[in-house]
Chains A and B, each alone.
Chain A
């Protein structure tokens, strides 16, 4: 079958750095209409320039059709299902039309101790402006960082009058451990992780390949989020504790309002590129598919390099049972809301 005419080639698409970083949508139906990605609610329809954004953040109360996903993926745009305003990241999807340059670069850096250390130093260096971190060991860096956050906690404690003993949290269980300010801080941090996670996925880096953190499927998310805690969550947690707004929801909504100012996401995109890409290197986000060769680098893909035609019976499609007819209002699937 010939490709439909509306299919985008990699050359048709905006480079990632030319795009708006994200568009967040909630409480609507996301569909395809006349080859456009449309948002529909009771009052209006809005068409999204899907090829002009890096990641589409799909919030609560949304429903998205298969046709819409096909168009968004064809636009080289990532989709992330998130909680309110991107706090909490549930799942993400990405079409096949993106290149792997960023993730290859990231894995190259993370698997070489010298390069990995230099990226980790840059990460810490961002947090100690004006200090030279280029010769410090990881142990020294961790020590500096510990001293820095302790000082931050102390300063915010004096500023707000909220008492501070020490940091307590249960990994993976935000809002479970410690006093009020600790619990609010954990909740705000977990919201920040969601935002960082969607951006990392959206620009095609790997959330799992961390430089400072390691061993978790979100190690790189923890690395990146640590760059912003001082500006976004620590002060916020003390402010909220002072006002007695200490539920998990308070923390999420307060961070959401800070994110809605719209400065954080573009900042994350810039910082990730600065950390991973060499100076003045352009990110090629096109799909440069090829086959790797240990001597020649990359040879052309899509060519049969074998002597004989290989067996084409190599996969089986499984098709599910017939689905019952949808109700006539055209709201198949999902729960009525």
Chain B
């Protein structure tokens, strides 16, 4: 299962994603896209998110069982701690 969260996404981007996944709450998308399809729409999301933020949690072959991709401005970034993925927040 893949979860995508869009925060402050520009108009039309959330709607676009609903063609591929189901929006369960504002900005939260759930679906079961394959890797190829995920890679393709992540490209679009990362390119168009602008000043908003996009996060995608997807299944992965690691100890945690999942991986995260992020895009957008002032976003939290995934950091690798010896194989454990944690998120680093920018300090203001």
Contact = CB atoms under 8 A, between A and B. Distances in A.
Interface of A: 5-6, 8-9, 11-15, 18, 33-37, 47-52, 71, 75
Nearest to A11: B40
Interface residues of B, number: 21
B19 interface: yes
Given A52-B20, A52-B31, A35 B15 contact: yes
Nearest to B13: A35
A36 B33 contact: no
A261 to B, nearest CB: 22
Interface of B: 11-16, 18-23, 31, 33-34, 36-37, 40-41, 44, 48
B10 to A, nearest CB: 10
Given A52-B20, A75-B19, A35 B33 contact: no
A12 B12 contact: no
A12 B20 CA distance: 9
Contacts of A35: 12-13, 15-16, 19
Contact of A49 (B14, B20, B36): B20
Contacts of B33: 14
A50 B11 contact: no
The 6 closest A-B pairs by CB, nearest first: A34-B15, A36-B15, A35-B15, A35-B16, A36-B18, A47-B18
A71 B19 contact: yes
26 contacts: A5-B44, A5-B48, A9-B40, A11-B36, A12-B37, A12-B41, A14-B33, A15-B34, A18-B34, A33-B15, A34-B11, A35-B15, A35-B16, A36-B18, A47-B22, A47-B23, A48-B19, A49-B18, A49-B21, A49-B22, A49-B31, A51-B19, A52-B19, A52-B20, A52-B21, A71-B19
